[in-house]
Amino acid sequence: MKKYKIAVLSGDGIGPEVVAQAIKVLDAVGQRYGHTFRYCHALVGAIAIDQTGDPLPEETIATCLESDAVLFGSIGHPKYDNDPSAKVRPEQGLLKLRKTLGLYANLRPVTIYPSLRDLCPLRPERVEGVDMLIVRELTGGIYFGERGRSEDKLTAFDTCTYSAYEIERIARIGFQEAMNRRKQLMLVDKANVLESSRLWREVVQKMAPEYPEVTVNYMFVDNAAMQLILYPAQFDVIITSNMFGDILSDASSVLAGSLGMLPSSSVGSHTSLFEPIHGSYPEAAGEDRANPLATILSAAMLLDSLELHKEAEQVREAVAQVMEKGLGTEDLKPKIKCTCSELGDIIADIVEDTENHSLRIQKISDRISTII
Ligand code: IPM
Ligand code: MG
């Protein structure tokens, strides 16, 4: 019986609706196991710019620092995407938050639900056995290096800088995660071209003897992009820089059948943060059709971080059950199509162990058969 304070940063686009489903599920966990989750909502992203002029108001930082965990939705708005001259951008809020909370490691597990195999454009035998973890460095590299324009504005630069210290701490997480998994670590870099990548190799090679059970391999990022599609089951733990991790994790979501399936946790020196890897999907905002599973699975990772492992497993189990039953949002091309909130309700009911969920599924099936 414990009390937890969760900072909730729903953000933009579909953020609020998918986060609302994760909260339902956390509340169901609370009901079943007698925990209390207290939510403190705070602004971030485009909505924060609209209301305060700042994509990450001080108040939001304070709320996160005072909380046991941060549940994050998504940020971004097309009006900024199409305006390269915008001085203030929603993404700055997320980047500053990662930096301020010292969230240097972003863990993105890629698991495949059997019922979604057909959604993956690869042949089923290629996806067989895929179970990997992308460990993405999150507070360094080209995302945070010096950038700018020449005086005539016709030349621009972004710098990729990494210190041995930054590489060692993220690599350590990779090695530790590998120890708890299949003990295969793959460093993905571009060491044939980039000096920063050569430092990554140097540091990782130096650390390898500390983990004699872990097999360390190295792969150039262009080849890794190909291998992820050609033979994805070869990967166990991938460690990589900020930008390569960003790109490779979106690519690997194709294996899972939808970008709406992949959760993530970001850990570091302060409160940990949990967010789906997808963006704000503005086209679907407010339409109750977004896939809430990545956020619900992120909430499961949040529970793990609070040492509530049984509860986390319960949530993952509930997600597996709805997948098995053929339920899902439109992106999953499911047998039984649900709205975002219906899927959240069903998962929450299963977690709470009420019989309600059969009734809800029945209602949705009836609705579908009436339409047909
Ligand atoms: C992600 C997103 C962010 C990133 C954006 C929104 C800044 O793509 O979390 O993967 O690039 O890190
Ligand atoms: Mg991304």
User: Does the beta carbon of 294 sit less than 6 angstroms from any atom of ligand 1?
Assistant: no
CA-nearest of 235, 7, 279, 268 to 138 is 268
pTM of this structure = 0.94
The angle subtended at Cα 107 by Cα 105 and Cα 109, nearest 5°, is: 170
- Following CA atoms 83, 89, 92, 97 in sequence, which dihedral angle do they give, to the nearest 10 degrees? -150
Pocket test for ligand 1, best of 91, 106, 136, 139 (most atoms within 8 A of CB): 91
- Of the residues 4, 143, 211, 281, which is catalytic? 143
pLDDT at res. 372? 55
Instruction: Sketch the domain layout of the chain as residue ranges.
Output: 1-106+259-372, 121-256
User: Does the beta carbon of 288 sit less than 6 angstroms from any atom of ligand 1?
Assistant: no
User: Does the beta carbon of 277 sit less than 6 angstroms from any atom of ligand 1?
Assistant: yes
CA-nearest of 175, 167, 173, 174 to 139 is 167
* Fold agreement (1-106+259-372, 121-256): yes
pLDDT at res. 365? 83
Tell me the three state secondary structure of residue 23.
Answer: helix
Question: Under CATH, which architecture does the 121-256 domain have?
Answer: 3-Layer(aba) Sandwich (3.40)
pLDDT at res. 349? 96
Per-residue pLDDT of the chain (372 residues; tens, 9 = 90+): 789 999 999 999 999 999 999 999 999 999 999 999 999 999 999 999 999 999 999 999 999 999 999 999 999 999 998 888 889 999 999 999 999 999 999 999 999 999 898 899 999 889 999 999 999 999 999 999 999 999 999 999 999 999 999 999 999 999 999 999 999 999 999 999 999 999 999 999 999 999 999 999 999 999 999 999 999 999 999 999 999 999 999 999 999 999 999 999 999 989 999 999 999 999 999 999 999 999 999 999 999 999 999 999 999 999 999 999 999 999 999 999 999 999 999 999 999 988 788 888 888 888 877 765
CATH of 1-106+259-372, one of 3.40.50.150, 3.40.50.720, 1.20.1560.10, 3.40.718.10: 3.40.718.10
CA-nearest of 175, 249, 169 to 216 is 175
pLDDT, tens digit (0-9, with 9 covering 90-100), for 262-294:
999 999 989 999 999 999 999 999 999 999 999
CB 97 within 8 A of CB 271: no
The token duo for 191 is 């060491």
Query: Quick check: is 158 catalytic?
Result: no
